[in-house]
Every structure is written in C-alpha cells, then in structure tokens.
Amino acid sequence: MRSLLMLIFVLLFTNGISYAEPKKWQQGKGWGWVWGAEDEVGALNEMDNNSVLKALSIVKKGEIKDLGINYDRSSYKWPGHSPGEIMTFRTPAGVKTQRDLDFTFPENGNSSETTWHSCALFINDNVATQIDGLGHAVTGKDNHWYNGFTESDWGGDWGIRKAGAETIPPIIARGILIDIAGFKSLDALPSQYIITPEDLQGALRKQKTDLRFGDVVLIRTGTLRYWNDVGANQEKIGEHDSAGIQLPAAKWLVEEKGAIMIGSDTSGLEQMATPPENSDSFMPVHNYLLIEQGVHIAEFHYLEDLAKEKVYEFTYVATTNKIKGTTAGFTMRPLAIY
C-alpha cells in the first residue's frame, strides 16, 4: 500500500510529468493519417486541457525568452523562397499631399493634422521565425500532402484550401532545448553537419534532460548567433544553416519519443546537402514529418538566450497568423517561459 501511495504522489505532484496516455501515437510507429479523413491538424491533436496545464506548471520564475528573430528585405532565406519587402503605404507626407481622404483635411475638422503610418507587405510565408504547415510539403505524381489532400482537389490560385497555416492551433506544450552546438563545445555546428540520434541522446545526457511524450523539441545548431539584427550576413549564416537532422534523428524523436513538433534555429531543420542513399527526395525529413506523420516543423527559432542560461525545459507558447491558405505561420514570435 505504501508503494502504491508513493507512486500516486509521484504521478500527481512531480513537476512536468506527462500524465495523459497518447490518443493516437504508437511507440515505434508514431502517427500517420490516423485522425480522420478531414483532419488538418495532425500530431497537435494530442494537446488537450490536461497537457496544457502540465506544460504551464513548468513555469516557476516567470522568465520569458523571445524565440523570434528580426527580419527585413536583406535577411537570409532558403533559396526556394522569395524575399520580403515592407513598403510604407501611408506616410504623414503622403496622406497630406495625396489629399484623397476627406476626413484628413484640416478644414473638415482635422485641425491637429493627425496622420498615420501603414505598410503593405510583399513577403513569403516561409521566412524568418515560422512553423511549417502540413500543406507545405507536397509529393507524388498526384501532388498530395498530409492526409492525402491533393493539388487537383484542394489547390488554388489564392492559397491551399486544406491544411493551411490557419489550421495550426495555439500551441502550449512542454518545450525542450537540445543544444547540439553546446554538446560539441562549438559556437555553431560546421557546414553540412548531420545531427544523429546519438548526438541528440548525448546532448540530453549532458544536459540531464529527458524527453517525454508530447514535447516540442527545439534543436540548437548555433546558426542564429550570427543573425544579429536582421540576418544580413548571408555567407556566415548560410554556412551554418546547412547543418541539421536527417531521417534517423527525426524518426527517433517522433516514433520513440513522441515529439509533437520538432524545430531548430535554421531555415529548414534538416541537412539537405547530402541526402541519404536511396532517398527519393531532396527533403525527406520534411516529407516524413509533414506529409507522413503530421508533425509540424518549427524553423528559425532563436535559442541563444536559452542556451546561454542553460534553460533546457520550459513552457513553449506559440500562435500563428490566421491567414487562410498560407503554408506556414510566418514572421511569428514564439515564447519560452520558465
């Protein structure tokens, strides 16, 4: 009886323990298309009231770290995405000289000459700090993405109509930093470095951190130490941005540990420069996570402050733009709270 009471005490009161049984996840398999034919959310369906409360219980000091990065037209981006332009659409001088809005005229009651600034944006939905939506990666002759949604059925000129980024729910989960650069005693991982499951396991042992089902896992390569204000050092960032995981590490995190989202401080999470033998894609990790498993990918998350303070466990909080049809929640500002 005493042993049973002790077990109950541990389960109820140990901070951060994940109490809930997985809804659909199976160890050794992960997920797949298991949430129904109309599902657009994937592994994030595993979040519930209980998991949110457990994640929030991690917070003890009330410290907040901003995991977002500044971005502008000069910032580094993956070559497959367009640059961004932020154009001032209305300026004080423009409002006054254009004289196309009657309510701004002094003679119509605006004697204080009040004006404003507003901006028009031309920007890719896969730039800066962002989360890949489940409609981002597409494969096969039928051009399908997660859950079998196809371009012929659900594509369009004004954004995708299934699994767009507007379907990404607010995320509140236990966040875990795996500092691979720190584990290797490097400022940043070298160009094209492949992060293995053994690297992940070694870093976790060094940090004295464990992974639990339902975690958001963020992997530090050190790339964003060179971002500075707006990531304009294209050559330096590009050199280290090429480090990342490949399928063995992705499968270990999803199938063995139950990570509901995986991210890093790079533009693409995976090492694409040297695809594994017999690979049929230049981005097999994206295809595996987004299409096959329904696991979202977090990219360009700023992890330097957490690594500096050796904060490896935190409450991860993120919400994305609800811009219908976009393929990523972009230029966002996720938080680590502890």
The reply to whether 240 and 104 lie within a common domain is no
pLDDT of residue 4: 40
Confirm whether 93 is domain-assigned. yes
Q: What are phi and psi of 26, to 5 degrees?
A: -125, 125
pLDDT of residue 275: 79
Confirm whether 33 is domain-assigned. yes
The reply to whether 247 and 101 lie within a common domain is no
Confirm whether 5 is domain-assigned. no
Distance CA 82, CA 79 (A): 8
Q: Record the pTM.
A: 0.91
Distance CA 172, CA 147 (A): 24
Residue 31 sits in which domain range?
17-79+124-337
CATH of the domain at 294: 3.50.30.50
Task: For residue 293, name the pLDDT band (cuts at 50, 70, 90).
Answer: very high
Instruction: For residue range 129-141, list pLDDT tens digits in order.
Output: 999 999 999 999 9
The residue from 122, 142, 174 where one domain ends is 122
Label the pairing between strands 261-264 and 296-299: parallel
pLDDT of residue 19: 54
Confirm whether 3 is domain-assigned. no
DSSP 216-237: EEEEE-SGGGGTTTT---HHHH
Confirm whether 10 is domain-assigned. no
CA-CA-CA-CA torsion sign (300, 301, 304, 310): negative
The reply to whether 117 and 129 lie within a common domain is no
The reply to whether 48 and 150 lie within a common domain is yes
Q: How many domains does the chain have?
A: 2
Indicate the helix (H) or strand (E) that contains 244: strand 244-245
Instruction: For residue range 182-221, list pLDDT tens digits in order.
Output: 999 999 999 999 999 999 999 999 999 999 999 999 999 9
